[in-house]
A and B are shown apart, each in its own frame.
Chain A
């Protein structure tokens, strides 16, 4: 049975399309998630990842295509599926007027757990998330990071096979973020679950086994963070200049390399970047105000695939 399970994907998204009225939020997205994988959905706001999340968590029926989770079609068999998935929403779902223990007690009841088995599970989960000594305290006395951990524990109470998390670190400071990811990793090992997490943060995406990068309702890249970064040949060189359009054009014709104007910068990808910058600076004296060479990041992958920055001005003002 184990072998059979590992060969079939835990989650299979097939040609998923979704429209809000006229606006298309998902434009035919397909990918598979393997069992016990930490799978990231990376994309800026409005890329469609939250829509995808809502469809996977059975809250919304897609306009077209289908999402199959553990062999159940999320649109057609929501009640069968709900038993096997744990969901952690971006908005906090713990009740701050209840204690940590009461929150998990309530959650367990919703999934049919009760009695001694429920008590044991509450005790176990509170231990996992490091809140055993705060079991009887009201959640309103907890820090944001602690509340978030309790949210995750809620999602795992019924031992789901798949855990879905929507931007789980929203509103947490960097230390609490790191903490939460450590807990996610240890929980994944202890509970042996497939984890799908949406994020707009590159450093979080780096921690996933595999990533789907989304942009404007479409899948732009799929692979491990390393694979994705390797597809960029060598290093990334960024030049600051007053006239990026013309400089990019002149670099293209002179060095036969793809140069991309982005804002007040020109960006290009090249092996042996540190050697190449001397050539560049000598070729265009006085036109380059600053120059940098770096190893490719996931943001570079995004720019490489979409031709624009991850955070465009528009998406930043939208928040």
Chain B
């Protein structure tokens, strides 16, 4: 018995990927089986855009060149990030639901490394919010934005990184929680400020000292900034595209690490 057991007991990277794949697959299948969620993901950017677009109308107009003058143009990358932010974080409510049912427990007793559990679940949420971000991005031509294939791909990459980082953050917050109410409370406590101080609403350059500092340490700022660079290459840049993307990548890795550390705790307290 010793030999096969020993061979089996060190899970190959292959089987870890299979586990991550199957968790990702479940997240996506569950999503499209719940029609109201599908409608929400497709309709909310649409609705958001129609309301904001018509609401702003020609207010705040200040010039003619694209990108800077029309406030709606300014607001577009921030709105995209906001949609990604909410979808990413809220998909991880499924962690709390899985825990309430026995589903999560059955995954925890499987011979699956915790990193594969985090990767599968987080990629599931990331897929959904990236799709939503891409739908919103499809409205860009309506604003008169036309991008090259390269900047389209980089925009999608940015959306993916922001989605992944925020989904991982949602995972780390949801993991120790046992009620979705508590989750909502925490989310409201720091997601709204995170978004407000990301350069989505007002530019970093015009902000006063301490707000500006907060904005500079807010990783979301770099997501908004990267998108703005890609969508409006002619407008003045606060950070170069490369440094924004690099910061974003670091943020993503950090968040994945955080989610992993949370999921890896195994102690003497009940796991259910």
Contacts and interface: CB of A to CB of B under 8 A. Distances in A.
Interface of A: 1, 5, 18-20, 54, 57-63, 71, 77-80, 82-85, 87, 89-95, 97-98, 102, 105-107, 109-112, 114, 138, 151, 154-155
A91 B272 contact: yes
A5 B5 CA distance: 14
Nearest to B268: A61
A84 B5 contact: yes
Contacts, number: 109
A59 B102 contact: no
A73 B5 CA distance: 14
Given A85-B109, A109-B19, A102 B269 contact: no
B105 A62 contact: no
Contacts of A57: 109
A114 B272 contact: no
A92 B29 contact: no
Nearest to A110: B110
Contacts of B272: 54, 59, 89, 91
How many chain B residues sit at the interface, stated as a range, is 35 or more
A87 B106 contact: yes
Nearest to A79: B111
Contacts of A154: 106
A107 B9 CA distance: 18
A90 B270 CA distance: 14
Contact of B26 (A58, A85, A91, A98): A98
B175 interface: no
30 contacts: A18-B268, A19-B268, A20-B270, A59-B266, A59-B271, A60-B266, A60-B267, A62-B268, A77-B9, A79-B9, A79-B11, A80-B5, A82-B110, A83-B8, A87-B105, A87-B106, A87-B109, A91-B102, A91-B105, A94-B103, A95-B30, A97-B29, A97-B34, A106-B26, A109-B21, A110-B22, A110-B112, A111-B111, A112-B12, A155-B106
A90 B102 contact: yes
A116 to B, nearest CB: 15
User: Which residue, of A60, A84, A105, A110, has the highest number of chain B Cβ atoms within 10 A?
Assistant: A110
Contacts of B30: 95, 97-98
B242 to A, nearest CB: 38
A291 to B, nearest CB: 45
Contacts of B270: 20, 54, 59-60
Nearest to B112: A110
A114 B272 CA distance: 29
Contacts of A85: 109
Contacts of B102: 89-93, 151
Contact of B105 (A77, A89, A94): A89
Interface string B246-272: 000000000000000000001111111
Contacts of B15: 112
A35 to B, nearest CB: 12
Contacts of A5: 1
Given A84-B5, A92-B102, A98-B29, 12 more contacts: A5-B1, A19-B268, A59-B266, A87-B105, A95-B26, A97-B33, A109-B18, A110-B107, A111-B110, A111-B111, A112-B15, A112-B111
